Amino acid sequence: MTLAIDNPIIQFKDVGKRFGRLIVLNGLTLDIERGKCLVIIGASGTGKSVLLKHIVGLLRPDFGEVWFDGRRIDNLDERSLMQIRQRIGFLFQMGALFDSFTVQHNIAFPLMEHTHKSDAEIDHLVKHKLTMVGLPGIGGKMPSELSGGQKKRVALARAIALSPEVILYDEPTTGLDPVRSDVINELIIKLQRELRVTSIVVTHDMHSAFKVADRMVMLHEGKIVYDGTPHAILEETDPVVRRFVMGEASEQDMASLNDEERSPSI
Amino acid sequence: MPHIIPEMPSVTIERFGRDSLNWLVAFGDFWRFVGHVFAWLRAGLSRKTLRLMPPLMYEIGVKSMPVVAITGAFIGMVLAVEAYNQFKSIGQENRLGAIINVSVVKQIGPVLAAVMLAGRVGGALTAELGTMNVTEQIDALRVMGADPIRYLVVPRFLVCILLTPILTIYSDILGVLGGWLVSVHGFGIPNEPYWHYAHAGVGVWAIMEGISKSVFFGGAIGLIACYKGFTCGAGASGVGRACMESFVYAFIAIIVFNFFFARLATQWYVALYGLKSLF
């Protein structure tokens, strides 16, 4: 079902993960190409974010292997993972900005941790990253003073602070109005073009998915049910994929709604 | 829809077994967490870690001073009120200073100051780290290649073990003054014999016993609060439950540790100096 890729940057080999009785990933195999934008779609709870967290070692698989740039990473300890993590930027769903730090300090944090740059150099870099995400001059603000869209863009500036090779986006447009969502989409495309990074976007926003994707993968019940181009997904005949792309409720969902209507009100 | 393995019908004994196992796993997990904290301490304190401490010292230390002062002062005052009549009935009210002050510096002062800090500081630390946990800020730290235990737990733990004894001394002083105020100015005990017996009853050993156990109380508060913050469940209810558990476990740890510490310290004292009577 999955595409074969030459020299992939990230590989999932028969990865399985469950939380208690809930099976989230069920023997998933996926190769991710360098320099392209992969969009992972799927209903809530199908393991999209779990998949993303395996790439940075925030979660470990119960079975199977995860590889990054030719090196197996699912068995590395936290200290060894630090080197890998510096090559990856992660945009969290809610931004995950540090509440007690200013915007400036948030973006400077990875630079202070992992480089020996002077304060002036870090200041200059932070300003540059903020300009890249279209928010120059807000370094002195606290995260609580920012709108949802601004928080995401500051979080993105922080994610690219160390000029990573891979950027992971976890639901980048969730909770934003359509205009702000499109700003984020344009930013993903811009960073992809300017920094020549590999982007992996987890989303269920189909408008966003079609706009940024070079390749689309759909997860369902812990497995890949579609792997191909955004164009070809429109021709897909699998009812699960079609319903998701078209945003249609399943017959099972409709039946449960009708059952609810028939049940006596309390 | 996610795959869910169907749940087998469980009986009471099975649930008891599962709960016991979960408790054991959590207990082991806590000690692994403690090991990780000490491993970072052993690896050496960096300037980065030390730079994080002053704001925490202000939050944990300076802001706790009013509640600790009130707790300490009223402990001393209430001890005077409770003990006065008994001492007066045997004509020994001049010796009130000895029993009040030895109780304050050895037992009630350190324990109640620690309990107060478990509520105020422990609750605040768990709420702060728990909120960082549920808003993925701790994951963000890890993703940026910073160890959250070194960055968040080590400075908080150090501040707790440094400041709890200082706050205990502060609480003790206020307790001693509170007891003196009620005894001398309230019940009219003469000043000179009050301090004479207080001095005779409270030796360096008693003071050091109170202060040294407060270091352990501070460590327990810091470690339990940080662990609960790091492992709290999702959402506001998860943070709320973690704060409650943080206080309860820290309280139990303080009380239980205090018992064993008192027993050990008393045995050592008697072995070294023999029994010291307050009368």
What pLDDT does B2 receive? 54
Q: In this predicted model, what pLDDT tens digit does every residue of B150-166 receive, in sequence order?
A: 889 999 999 999 999 99
CA of A164 to nearest chain B CA: how many angstroms apart? Answer: 11
**Mean pLDDT, rounded, of chain B:** 89
What pLDDT does A198 receive? 93
The pLDDT-based confidence of A256 (bands split at 50, 70, 90) is confident
CA of B115 to nearest chain A CA: how many angstroms apart? Answer: 27
What pLDDT does A167 receive? 94
Q: Measured between CB atoms, which of A56, A78, A86 is closest to B147?
A: A78
Section A9-38 average pLDDT: 91
Sign of CA dihedral B166, B171, B172, B174: positive
Q: Give the HSE-up count for residue B206: Cα atoms under 13 Å, Cβ half-sphere.
A: 21
CA of B168 to nearest chain A CA: how many angstroms apart? Answer: 29
Section B238-255 average pLDDT: 94
Q: In this predicted model, what pLDDT tens digit does every residue of B187-218 receive, in sequence order?
A: 989 988 889 988 888 888 889 999 999 999 99
Is the per-residue pLDDT at B47 higher than 80?
Answer: no
Fold assignment, A1-87+166-188+197-251: Rossmann fold (3.40.50)
Q: Confirm whether the ipTM is greater than 0.90.
A: no
Paired tokens of A182? 């499109």
The pLDDT-based confidence of A17 (bands split at 50, 70, 90) is very high
- The percentage of chain B sitting over the pLDDT mark of 90, rounded to a whole number, equals 60
Q: Measured between CB atoms, which of A45, A83, A96 is closest to B135?
A: A96
Q: In this predicted model, what pLDDT tens digit does every residue of B51-66 receive, in sequence order?
A: 888 999 998 999 999 9
User: How many Å apart are CA B174 and CA B180, to the nearest integer?
Assistant: 10
What pLDDT does B58 receive? 93
Is the per-residue pLDDT at B102 higher than 60?
Answer: yes
User: How many Å apart are CA A159 and CA A86, to the nearest integer?
Assistant: 10
What is the phi/psi pair of residue A220, to 5°? -150, 125
The pLDDT-based confidence of B278 (bands split at 50, 70, 90) is low
- The percentage of chain A sitting over the pLDDT mark of 70, rounded to a whole number, equals 95
What pLDDT does A2 receive? 62
Q: With contacts defined as CB-CB under 8 Å, which chain B residues touch A172? A: none
Section A81-93 average pLDDT: 91
Radius of gyration of chain B (CA): 23
Angle between helical axes of B154-180 and B191-201 (0-180°, round to 10)? 140
Q: Measured between CB atoms, which of B3, B146, B147 is closest to A23?
A: B3
User: How many Å apart are CA A171 and CA B196, to the nearest integer?
Assistant: 72
Q: In this predicted model, what pLDDT tens digit does every residue of A89-146 receive, in sequence order?
A: 999 988 899 988 999 999 999 998 888 889 999 999 999 999 988 888 898 999 999 9
Q: Which helix (H) or strand (E) holds A18?
A: strand A10-19
Is the per-residue pLDDT at A3 higher than 70?
Answer: no
B139 to chain A: closest CA residue: A58
- The structural domains of chain A, with segments of one domain joined by +, span 1-87+166-188+197-251, 96-163
Is the per-residue pLDDT at A266 higher than 60?
Answer: no
Is the per-residue pLDDT at B139 higher than 60?
Answer: yes
Is the per-residue pLDDT at A63 higher than 90?
Answer: yes
User: How many Å apart are CA A110 and CA A101, to the nearest integer?
Assistant: 13
Section B227-247 average pLDDT: 92
Q: Which helix (H) or strand (E) holds A245?
A: helix A239-246
